[in-house]
Amino acid sequence: MSNPKTLFDKVWESHVVDTIPDGPSILYIDKHLIHEVTSPQAFSGLRKRGFQVFRPEKTIATADHNVPTVNQHLPIQEELSRNQLSKLTKNCQDFGVKLYGLGHKYQGIVHVIGPELGITQPGMTIVCGDSHTSTHGAFGSIAFGIGTSEVEMVMATQCLLQKKPKKMLIEINGDLSNGVFSKDIILYIISKISSSGATGYFVEYSGSTISSLSMEARMTICNMSIEMGARGGMIAPDQKTFDYVKNRKFAPKEKDFNRKVSYWKTLVSDNNAKYDKVLQFDAKDIEPMITYGTNPGMGMKISETIPNFPPEGSKDSFAKSLDYMGFKPGTKLLNKKINYVFIGSCTNSRMEDLRIASRYVKGKKKAKEIKAWVIPGSKQVEKMAIEEGIDRIFTNAGFEFRQPGCSACLAMNEDKIPKNQYCISTSNRNFEGRQGPGSRTMLVSPLTAAVSAINGYVSDIRNHL
């Protein structure tokens, strides 16, 4: 082949409207997802300019960041949150944008509902004013987070000005050990390359380990691409992808679907396609992971000790970070007492996550002194969990099974971890104060969260299988 292309090249090139010399490209956007927090200023901008939303049918809104996770049928108590949500409703009405608001059967975390409704499809360009938009890359789409000015840009023109990023291939081969999940894979990679190791790049994940993963597990990996600085991460679509998309609400139907599949099958990197950087990992080196610091790059195998020396990329912040966490270099986290367990967020709140965690929890009781929250990613996940009896497994074990939203991942609503309290969390960021002012977060997989909730301390699932 004369000019071999990567998966990223293929999708990117099919969306370039024009390229400005010594400047960015004009990139056409197929789907624009919006939510209450990063859209109000963009709508105000449109009003000021006297513009409409150019392609409202390609724009989908939901309420997630700011919503309470209990009593969603009642008026929201917090005034600012209530105001932001009512602004979203009014803006969507005024501009003709479809909204899955609070109480709607499709409401949920924006990166959970996109795939489950079949809005997310291979080969698309998808943006949202949220950095975890990278999640949708699991379908072989170019999906990334944007700022509010860019949200306004897409509303006004269905296009974005973007410089083509560099390309990185991350290949993982081999079988995963017992108790190791996709969350552990991505935490492992980030711990190896640091929280800025992929800045400036768009990542493609491949290899036998990735192929063996379910769609939901792949979403967890792509979701956290931004935590190593990458704008996004993508995985070539395969039969699992097509089967997942098929028959979903907004998926193409019948003949149209078959036609799309034959196009989607071309969305693989050509042999000898060039990447700016290639990294390879072996699945057998990966163990259940946990973070000990205040960025996702500060992670280790759960059986290890906190390093005595700063890891690459956290030299100046290492001491400050450990001081914030109340940890000492050279110590273990295993058996460390915890206060909260949070199972949720766009990283790990899908059916598979809840099934894995509930299977372990079934018939057991959580440790008395801790609080444990399970927040399903969407109304549809919530409904399915109730149908399967998963909600009762959790509540019988003393967990709270709440209503869908971003919740304690970023603590915009009432779900906050108090100062100096330790939270074992399936979310994506362990930044200072992320889960509430002074909160101390340790990122883990849903199964590690489940076993730690039962024991009341940081636990290695492999000792309990």
Site for another protein in 76-95 (CB under 8 A): 80-81, 83-84, 87
DSSP assignment string, 327-380: --TT-B-TT-B-SEEEE-TTTS-SHHHHHHHHHHHTT----TT-EEEE--SBHH
Q: Which is nearer to another protein, 163 or 359 (CB)?
A: 163
The answer to whether 299 contacts another protein (rule: CB under 8 A) is: no
Q: Which of 177, 387, 187, 361 is nearest to 285 (CA)?
A: 177
- The site map against another protein for 151-190 (x = CB under 8 A) is -xx--xxxx-x-x-x-------------------------
What is the Cα–Cα distance from 123 to 117, expressed in whole angstroms? 16
Q: Which of 346, 281, 411, 289 is nearest to 143 (CA)?
A: 346
What is the Cα–Cα distance from 131 to 230, expressed in whole angstroms? 10
The count of chain residues that interact with another protein, using the rule CB under 8 A, is: 74
- Both structure tokens of 258: 């078959």
Alpha carbon of residue 26 to chain centroid: 26
- Both structure tokens of 281: 């990992």
What is the Cα–Cα distance from 226 to 195, expressed in whole angstroms? 8
CB of 252 to another protein, least distance (A): 10
Q: Segment near another protein (CB under 8 A), from 33-41, 333-341, 350-358, 382-390?
A: 33-41
The answer to whether 247 contacts another protein (rule: CB under 8 A) is: no
Handedness of CA 250, 346, 237, 27 (dihedral sign): positive
CB of 153 to another protein, least distance (A): 5
Which of residues 367, 438, 457, 462 is near another protein by CB under 8 A? Answer: 438
CB of 387 to another protein, least distance (A): 33
The answer to whether 118 contacts another protein (rule: CB under 8 A) is: no
Backbone angles phi, psi at 289, to 5 degrees: -110, 160
- The site map against another protein for 1-30 (x = CB under 8 A) is -------------x--xx-xxxxx-x-x-x
Alpha carbon of residue 236 to chain centroid: 18
The answer to whether 50 contacts another protein (rule: CB under 8 A) is: no
CB of 87 to another protein, least distance (A): 5
Place of tokens 């950087």: 277
Q: Which is nearer to another protein, 87 or 355 (CB)?
A: 87
The answer to whether 417 contacts another protein (rule: CB under 8 A) is: no
The answer to whether 126 contacts another protein (rule: CB under 8 A) is: no
The answer to whether 191 contacts another protein (rule: CB under 8 A) is: no
CB of 33 to another protein, least distance (A): 12
Q: Which is nearer to another protein, 48 or 368 (CB)?
A: 48
